Chains A and B, each alone.
Chain A
Amino acid sequence: MKELVVISGKGGTGKTTLLGSFAALAGRSVLADCDVDAPDLYLLLHPDIRFAQEFRAGQMAVIDADRCTRCGRCREVCRFEAITSDFMVIALNCEGCGACRVVCPAEAVELQERVAGDWFQGQTKYGPMVYARLRPAEENSGKLVALVRKEARAWAEREGIGLLLTDGPPGIGCPVIASVGNADLALIVTEPTPAGLHDFERALALCRHFGVPAMVCVNKFDLNSGLEKRVHDFCAESQTAVTESIPFDESVPRAIRQGLPLVEFDLGPASRAATAVWGQVRSCLIGG
Chain B
Amino acid sequence: MAQEFSNQKASEPLLAAWIKWTMDFWESMAQMGPGPVATAGVGGGAAPEAGAVRDPWLAALQLWQAFFSLLTEPGTVAAVFQGIKAPSETILRMAQAGWGGYFYLHQQWLAAWQGVGISEGEYGYENLDQDIFKICNEIYENDFRQLLNLPQLHLTGLPQNRISRATDKFNQFQTAMAEFIYLLFLPVKKSLRAMGAVGITFGEDNLPIEFKEYYKRWLKILEGHYMTLFQSEQYSRTMSQALNALEDFATAKQELLADALEVLGLPSPRDLDELYREIYLLKKRTRLIAKKLDQSEPSGEEG
Partners in one complex: no
Question: Which A residues are within 8 Å of any B CB, using their own CB?
Answer: none
Question: Which B residues are within 8 Å of any A CB, using their own CB?
Answer: none
